[in-house]
Chains A and B, each alone.
Chain A
Amino acid sequence: MKTTKLASVVAVLAALFFTGTAFAQTDPGVRSNTGVNAGQPFASVTASPNDLAFFQTGFEQFNEHQTVTGDNPGLGPRFNLDSCGACHSQPALGGTSPASGIFPNVGPNPQSQVIANGVVNGSTNTIPYFVQANGPVREARFPFFFNQFGNPNPNAPNGGVEDLFTVSGRADAGACSLQQPGFNTARVTNNIIFRIPTPTFGAGLMANIDDATLLANHAAQAVFNRVGISGTFNHNGNDGTISRFGWKAQNKSLLTFAGEAYNVEMGISNELFTQDRPLPGEDQMGSGLPANCLNLAGVGYPEDITHSDGTSASTVTSDTALFSVFMQFLDQPTPSTTSPGGATSIANGRKLFSAIGCAICHTPSLTTQASQLTSGLSNATANLFSDIEIHHMGVGLADNVSQGGAGGDQFRTSPLWGLGQRIFFLHDGRTSNLLSAIEAHQSSGSEATLVEEVFDLLSPSQQQDLLNFLRSL
C-alpha cells in the first residue's frame, strides 16, 4: 500500500515536472538551422554591374583593417577597433557584435584580442574590464565629466565616446603617448555606460522612408494608446527632418553615421568629421590632442578623402562614402517561416506580438519612397519592426546620455529585423536572453511597462510562440 502511494506521488510529481518543463517558455537562441539570413545586396544591385562593383568595393573597405601609417592609414590616435567589419560582423558583415562559438561563429569579441593580434601595445594598453571574449563589442561613454577629485559632476553632462585604446607604443605611432580613459574610476563611481554596434542590414530602406510616412504612422498609433505608449521623434539639427540612425536616432543619414563612426570609433578623420578626435574631456580642458599625436599618418587632414585621381566610382569615392554605399545596398534580413518552433507557432507569435501591443512601437513594416539609388530601395516594404521614434524606456534602461532631442531615458525603437541571429540585446548588450530583454522593458518611467505586463499575462505556450516568432526574424 505504501509503495503504491509513493509511486503515485512520484508519478504526479513527475507529471507536474514534465508538464512544467514542456510549457516553460525559453529563448530559442540564435537561429542556426536556416543558414545566415542577412548580408546580401539587393537583387537590383546584383543585377547592375556598376552597382555591384560599388557594393563590393564598399564591402572590402568595410572589412579592411586600418593602421596608423601604411596602405590604410589614419588609425587613432584613439580608437575602439581598427575595422568596421570587426564590430559589425554577426551573422554577416554589416551586422552586430559577434561571440565565440555561436552561429555562424564569426569569432570571439575582437576587442578582447587587440593585444594578441598586435593592434595595440600591451605595455601601454590594457583590456578594459567590460571587454570579454564571449561578451559583446562595446563602446563606453561617461555620462558626466569628472571633477578634480575623480568624482562625477552631474552639473557637467558628458556622454561622449571614451575610446578604449590608444596607438601609444605601436611601432607606427612615433612618440605619441596617451593614456586610456579611467574606466576603473568610472566603474567605481557608476559613471560609465555602454553601447553595442547597431546592425545595418536594411539600413538603406530605413534611410528612404519619408518623414510623412513616419508622421502618419505616429499619428495612427498615438490615438490608440491603450497601453501607456506615446513616443516622439529625434530631429536633425541642420534641416529639422527626422533623424533615424543610432541607438537614439541621433544620426540623419548613413553617410553621417559612417563618417562619425570612422572618426569616433577608429580615429580616422574624413570629409564629414575633419579633425582627429580627442576625448571629450581633452577638448573641455582646452588642451585637445598633444601635437605629437596629430597627423600620425603623415598625409595631412582629412585622412580619408575623395580621390580625384580615381578612374571609377569605386576608386574615386572616399572610404566613408563607400561604407555608406555598402550599408544602403544591404538588403533586409530574410525571416524564417518555420524555425524555430514551426510555422504555426511563428504565425501565432506574430499575431500575439500585435495583439498585446508590441507592434505599436515595433511597427512591422513601413513603405519606402522612390529611390534614385537602386530599384530595390524604391517603394519597398521595409519589415523593420520599428517606428523610428524615441520612447521613454524608464530608469532601468536609462543611460543618462542625451543625444539631439533624446534624453537620458529615451531610445529609438530598436528595429527587430534580423533579431533571430543576434547574440546580444539592448543598447549595452547586457543580456543574450531574449526573455530578459523583454522583461527589461518595464521599469519606472518606461512607456513599455504595461505591454510587458500584458506579455506576462499570456500563457507559457503563448509566450513561447511570441519568442519563436521573434527568433524567426
Chain B
Amino acid sequence: MSRPVFFLLETMGLNMHPRFSRSLAFVCFSISLIAHAQSSPQSGGDFSNNPQPNALPSDVLLVKGAWSSASDLVTPVPEGGRVANNVFSNQYFGFTYTLSPDWTQKYVGPPPSDSGYYVLAQIRPAETSKGTSRGSILIAAQDLFFTLAPAGNALELINYNKESLDADYKVEQPPTLVRIANHSFVRFDYGSPVAELHWHVLATQIRCHMVQFVFTSRDTKLVESLIQEMSKMTLPAEAGPISGRGGGEVPVCIKEYARDENVLERVDPVFGERRFNPAPVRIIIDKQGKVKHIHFLSAFPDQVKAITDALFQWRFRPYLRDGKPVEVETGIMFGRAPRPATTPSTNAATE
C-alpha cells in the first residue's frame, strides 16, 4: 500500500480508535498485497524490474507479540477509551473527562500489561499551546483481579503505593478521601525535592479496577487547577475507592468467581505451542451461566483461539443478587501467573 493510501486511512481514522485505524490500515495493506500472486517467499533479490514497489508504512506496528483482544467488537473493553472533541471518554468504565483547553493526547499508550495495568490516556499541553504551564496527566487503570500488589481495592492499592514510596520522595499529603464530581476518590500527593516535581494521584474504583489520574508538574497551582477541573467529570454511580464492584447496568465483578464450586462444566484449553507468558482473561458470564464475552488483556493469537474455544464451553452457576440471577464479571489467569509482591499494606486512609 502506498503511503498516500495509508495516510488517507489515518485521516479517516480520526474518528476511530487509533489502534483500530492502524489495524484497518494493516488489513487494507494486506489485501492489496494478496491481490498479487503469492509465491515462495524470498530474501530480497534484485527485483529491478519491479516498477511500482509497495513500501511498508513507517511507524506502524505490524508484528505484535502478546496483545489485547476480545471475543466480540461490541462489548466495551477498558482499553477502548479515546479523546474526541477535547473529551476523554471510556465506555467500559462509564466516565468522561474534559481536557483543559490547549491540552491534548499526542501519543496513545501501550497495550494492557499481563498484570492488568492499563494506560488509558496520556494528556499534556498541546505543542501549539501559548501557556507556560507544563505538566502531564496520566489516566491509568489497574485490574484488581490481576494486580501484583497485596491490595483488594483502590484504597488499599494507593496505601500500598505510599508504603512502597522510595525514601527520596517526600509525602506531601497521605492518602485521603476526597469528593470529586460527587464521587469519592482517594488522593495521595508526593514530591521529589531533587527533581522539584510533584505527583498528585487521585484514584477511585470502577468495575473492580483502580482508575487513577496522575498529575505531574513543577507547578502545584497548575495541578490544583487541573484537579478542580475534574469536577466536570461524569462517573458511574458505583465509583468509589472501595465501592466500585459493578452492578446496575454493568455486570457485578467478583474476584475468583471461576472457582470450583461455581464452575459446573469446565473444558481445559488445548494449546498447540508451549508458551511461558501470563495470559490474564476477563469474562462476562450471563444470567444463565454461559460465557458471554471474553477479554484477553494479553495473549498470543494461538492462546486466544485455544482459550476462546474452551471458555465458551464452560458453564457456571448463575450468580444471584437478591434472589435474581445477574451478569457477573470475573478474571481467570491462564498460563504462568506473575509473582505477586509480598509486603502487605495495613494503613487506612482518613476522610
Which residues from chain A sit less than 8 Å from chain B, CB to CB? 142-159, 162, 179, 181-183, 185-186, 188-191, 215-216, 218-220, 222-228, 230-232, 235, 237, 240, 279-282, 284-286, 348, 351-352, 354-356, 391-392, 394-396, 398, 400-402, 405-410, 442-447, 449-450, 453-454, 456-459, 462
Contact = CB atoms under 8 A, between A and B. Distances in A.
A151 B59 contact: no
Contacts of A156: 41
B199 interface: yes
B319 interface: no
Contacts of A348: 194
B145 interface: no
A356 B174 CA distance: 20
Given A351-B168, A444-B18, A457-B197, A185 B40 contact: no
Contacts of A443: 59, 107
A400 B63 contact: yes
Contact of B36 (A142, A151, A230, A391): A151
A451 B60 CA distance: 22
Contacts of A462: 195-196
A285 B41 contact: yes
B90 to A, nearest CB: 16
Given A224-B161, A224-B164, A406-B65, A153 B113 contact: no
Contact of B50 (A150, A216, A402, A458): A150
B195 A458 contact: yes
- 7 shortest interchain CB distances as A-B pairs: A407-B65, A281-B43, A150-B47, A145-B41, A230-B113, A182-B44, A408-B63
Given A232-B66, A284-B42, A450-B119, 18 more contacts: A143-B63, A145-B43, A149-B36, A151-B36, A155-B30, A215-B339, A223-B160, A226-B199, A227-B214, A232-B278, A285-B40, A405-B66, A407-B65, A407-B67, A446-B110, A449-B109, A450-B122, A453-B124
Contacts of B192: 355-356
Contact of B54 (A182, A189, A231, A407): A189
A220 B111 contact: no
A190 B42 contact: no
Contacts, number: 274
Contact of A281 (B42, B142, B201): B42
A343 to B, nearest CB: 15
B170 to A, nearest CB: 11
B41 A185 contact: no
B65 A223 contact: no
5 contacts: A146-B41, A154-B26, A218-B339, A222-B341, A457-B136
A389 to B, nearest CB: 11
A260 to B, nearest CB: 18
A355 B197 contact: yes
Contacts of B60: 395, 398
Given A185-B44, A226-B201, A286-B40, A152 B110 contact: no
Interface string B86-99: 00000000000000
Contacts of A186: 44
Nearest to A180: B44
Q: Which of A396, A407, A444, A458 has the most CB of B within 10 A?
A: A444
Given A162-B43, A285-B42, A400-B62, A352 B338 contact: no
